[in-house]
Amino acid sequence: MGPLQGVKVIEFAGIGPGPMCAMLLADMGATVLRIDRSTEVDLGQRRPPRYNLLLRSRKAIRLDLKRDAAVALALELVERADALLEGFRPGVMERLGLGPDVCLARNPRLAYGRMTGWGQEGPLAAAAGHDLNYLALSGALGAIGRKGGPPTPPLNLVADYGGGALYLAFGLLAAVLHARSTGTGQVVDAAMVDGVASLMTSVYGLHGAGTFKAERGSNVTDSGAYFYDVYQCADGQWISIAPIEGRFHAELLRRLEIDPQAIGAQWDSAHWPQARAVLAARFLTRTRDAWCSLLEGTDVCFAPVLSLEEAPRHPHLRARGTFIDIDGVVQPAPAPRFSRTPAAVPESAERALDATPAQALAGWLDAEEIAALTAAGTLAA
């Protein structure tokens, strides 16, 4: 099941964007084998395995890569893989004897994916960092926030998962396609700071043209415009509106029974504070559910601001199956969707972690090899 059936990937366990990238590939049908560290990294967010959703859809083995036998096994698996992904600091894989030169010598068709924050070279390459830092350096964080307020962290979605996991998955698949047509593998250097900068391409174009102001909260899509923002309702809940196009904006005013003269010209920013005050007062007159009844499904570009508990229950998301229940845990379904090769229902992380080394390595090594590795102590339960 899934369009990536037949693609084999080795994942060297990491945190955040690496596991997300591996999950995306596994959700789409790739056979992904995770090589876990001999000891776990504690980020202070321990939880039962079934809630570690980024580990779904793939099995794992635990190897002590400081042992020669474990490195030899890892290289044997690399020989059978289409792609590899790792998220260590530059130089770590080389010190383990698993750098790209060694792996590509063993498997010249390999797509060798490297996930870092700052990239494989540059003044900051060896420094530690997290999502927020990559947003900050790329210019993205400085552009996010309310007017007069501080830069606002948008969860760790943009750098870790948008600029990191998605770009590495895209890069790996591009390299696999190239290898299949040429027989030649290569290294994919996916730096989160590069990915975030790439996501900002349109904004940098607008800024260069002089149509995107540097001051936060002063542009159309950064809460500067009254017609692209959130508003509080009578019950304290929130709704969002985004009628950028003129006809959608006119439809909003018609449904809110607001005289356009009270708003002023939509694209004259001098009128925006007055218009915001008018809309804010109107939205405070009804509850969120009442506004949903009036505006949802129309061309005013409207949606309620839902909580994490509410979103999976929304009728539209229920109809599409955007969220699924796996072993009692509600979680996002695989995306995107394919008409001819739909993804299978993901295997829960808990079930995947319960797999024995022999089950994890099925399809990679034969039974005799697995038994010998187990007897030698290279494979641990």
How much is the pLDDT for 47? 81
Q: pLDDT at residue 79 above 60?
A: yes
pLDDT band at 353 (very low <50, low <70, confident <90, very high): confident
Q: Which DSSP string do the residues of 124-186 spell out, in sequence order?
A: TTTS---HHHHHHHHTTGGG-S-TTS-----TTIIIIIIIIIIHHHHHHHHHHHHHHHHS--E
Nearest CA to 328 among 20, 53, 33, 26? 53
Domain assignment of residue 210, yes or no: no
Q: pLDDT at residue 41 above 80?
A: no
- Per-residue model confidence as pLDDT tens digits over 228-248: 999 999 999 999 999 999 999
Query: Which of helix, strand or coil describes residue 61?
Result: strand
Domain assignment of residue 381, yes or no: no
Q: pLDDT at residue 142 above 80?
A: yes
Domain assignment of residue 3, yes or no: no
Structure-token pair, residue 3 = 């369009």
Residues 52-83: b if buried by 16+ CB within 10 A, e if exposed:
bbbbbbbbbbbbebeeeebbebbbebbeebbb
How much is the pLDDT for 236? 98
Q: Are residues 111 and 164 in the same domain?
A: yes
Q: pLDDT at residue 380 above 80?
A: no
d(Cα 139, Cα 359) in Å, to the nearest integer?
Answer: 46
Which percentage of the chain shows pLDDT scores above 70?
98
pLDDT band at 30 (very low <50, low <70, confident <90, very high): very high
Q: Are residues 193 and 277 in the same domain?
A: no
Q: pLDDT at residue 42 above 80?
A: no
- Is-contact 67 39, C-beta < 8 A? no
Q: pLDDT at residue 1 above 90?
A: no
Q: Are residues 155 and 290 in the same domain?
A: no
DSSP classification of residue 59? E
The one catalytic residue in 82, 160, 194, 229 is: 160
* Structural domain ending residue among the three candidates 256, 276, 304: 304
pLDDT band at 45 (very low <50, low <70, confident <90, very high): low
Average pLDDT of every residue of the chain: 95
Domain assignment of residue 206, yes or no: no
Q: Are residues 71 and 127 in the same domain?
A: yes
Quickly tell me which residue has 């959700």 as its tokens. Answer: 27
| pTM as predicted | 0.95
Q: pLDDT at residue 318 above 70?
A: yes
Cα dihedral 99, 102, 105, 108, rounded to 10, equals -20
- Per-residue model confidence as pLDDT tens digits over 109-139: 999 999 999 999 999 999 999 999 999 999 9
Q: Are residues 333 and 274 in the same domain?
A: no
How much is the pLDDT for 96? 97
* Structural domain ending residue among the three candidates 270, 304, 338: 304
Q: Are residues 182 and 226 in the same domain?
A: no
Domain assignment of residue 69, yes or no: yes
Instruction: For residue 130, indicate whether it is catalytic.
Output: yes
- Per-residue model confidence as pLDDT tens digits over 265-317: 999 999 999 999 999 999 999 999 999 999 999 999 999 999 999 999 999 99
Q: Are residues 34 and 183 in the same domain?
A: yes
How much is the pLDDT for 40? 60
- Per-residue model confidence as pLDDT tens digits over 178-233: 999 999 999 999 999 999 999 999 999 999 999 999 999 999 999 999 999 999 99
pLDDT band at 54 (very low <50, low <70, confident <90, very high): very high
Domain assignment of residue 65, yes or no: yes
Q: Are residues 161 and 257 in the same domain?
A: no
Where does residue 210 rank: exposed (0-12), middle (13-18), buried (19+ CB within 10 A)? exposed
d(Cα 60, Cα 43) in Å, to the nearest integer?
Answer: 20
Look at the chain and report how many structural domains it folds into: 2
Q: Are residues 327 and 300 in the same domain?
A: no
Q: Are residues 172 and 131 in the same domain?
A: yes
Q: Are residues 69 and 133 in the same domain?
A: yes
Q: Could you tell me the CATH number of the domain that includes residue 111?
A: 3.40.50.10540
Q: Could you tell me the CATH number of the domain that includes residue 250?
A: 3.30.1540.10
Q: Are residues 137 and 180 in the same domain?
A: yes
Q: What is the domain range of residue 22?
A: 8-199+323-375
d(Cα 210, Cα 230) in Å, to the nearest integer?
Answer: 26
Q: 37-41, 80-84, 296-300: which range is least confident on average?
A: 37-41
Domain assignment of residue 42, yes or no: yes
The one catalytic residue in 130, 207, 271, 314 is: 130
